[in-house]
């Protein structure tokens, strides 16, 4: 009996062993498809999809708290640096605008100083044109000088008939003028000049002043005087009667 137990492998502590059957057929009897030796082995041993599902079932360990904290701090740092970059860009844009504005102001100031010295010459050219003395070579030189001043930004202003503006005009004389409702320039003694918004010289003009209000006042004064005379006459009459 001992020999029998050893022969069959059924001794104590040993599992009974049976014959091992491997399916080495190249054609799968169930699907009818050609299979590789690896597929046949997996079919025989019962492995394959079970192993894959077992691999997929492997749990991923949780992320440590320190790593999560570092990631949050890194995001906050990125946000902070982005804000700093935007602030620096805004400051640089404002700096460029300020520099450009200062450069324009300096250029206008320098141009105004140079052109301001030419205003008496331009006045002489204008008076010569009014008296029809701007002829020949003097006319060509005068027109070239005026064209150059205009190219530098010099603008002439003040014409008869426009409304009086104390910021642009200097009133030499105030003349009562009928048929106008506002103070109006009626004669220009000396034109004004400006460069951009900078007034180099105000225009010297004669200003017409409306007289409608003055006439009404005179009529009111006359009416008041007539009323006073009538009251005084009435008073003298009453004294005579007494």
Interval 175-198 mean pLDDT: 90
Q: What is the model's pLDDT at position 45?
A: 55
Strands 169-177 and 192-195: unpaired
pLDDT score for 3: 43
Distance CA 234, CA 213 (A): 32
Pairwise pLDDT comparison (206 vs 22), residue with the higher score: 206
How does pLDDT run across 87-131, given as a tens digit for each residue? Answer: 999 999 999 999 998 998 888 888 888 888 999 999 999 889 888
**What pLDDT band is residue 7 in, cutting at 50, 70 and 90?**
very low
Whether the Cβ atoms of residue 176 and residue 156 lie closer than 8 Å to each other: no
For residue 187, pLDDT beyond 60? yes
pLDDT at 236 over 70: no
Tell me the pLDDT band of 67, cut-offs 50, 70 and 90: confident
Higher-confidence position of 49 and 200: 200
Q: What are the tens digits of pLDDT across the range 121-170?
A: 999 998 898 888 888 888 899 999 999 999 988 999 999 989 999 999 99
Query: Quick one: pLDDT at residue 41?
Result: 54
Provide the pLDDT confidence category of residue 63 given band limits of 50, 70 and 90: low
Q: What is the pLDDT of residue 225?
A: 47
Region 206-218: what's the mean pLDDT?
68
For residues 75 and 190, the model is more confident at 190
| pLDDT tens per residue, range 23-46 | 677 677 777 676 666 554 555 555
């Amino acid at each position: 009996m001992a020999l029998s137990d050893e022969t069959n492998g059924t001794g104590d502590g040993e599992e009974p062993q049976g014959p091992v059957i491997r399916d080495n057929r190249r054609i799968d009897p169930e699907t009818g498809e050609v299979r590789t030796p690896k597929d046949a082995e997996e079919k025989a041993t019962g492995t394959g999809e079970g192993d894959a599902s077992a691999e997929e079932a492997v749990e991923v360990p949780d992320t440590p708290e320190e790593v999560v904290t570092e990631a949050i701090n890194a995001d906050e740092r990125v946000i902070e640096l982005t804000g700093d970059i935007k602030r620096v860009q805004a400051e640089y844009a404002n700096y460029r605008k300020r520099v450009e504005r200062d450069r324009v102001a300096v250029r206008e100031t320098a141009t105004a100083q140079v052109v301001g010295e030419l205003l008496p010459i331009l006045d002489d050219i204008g008076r010569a044109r009014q008296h029809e003395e701007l002829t020949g070579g003097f006319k060509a030189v005068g027109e070239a000088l005026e064209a150059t001043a205009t190219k530098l930004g010099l603008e002439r202003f003040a014409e008869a008939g426009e409304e009086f503006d104390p910021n642009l005009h200097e009133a030499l004389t105030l003349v009562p003028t009928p048929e106008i409702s506002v103070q109006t320039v009626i004669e220009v003694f000396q034109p004004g000049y400006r460069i951009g918004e900078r007034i180099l010289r105000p225009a010297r003009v004669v200003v017409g002043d409306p007289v409608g209000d003055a006439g009404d006042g005179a009529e009111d004064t006359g009416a008041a005087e007539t009323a006073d005379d009538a009251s005084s006459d009435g008073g003298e009459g009453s004294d005579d009667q007494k």
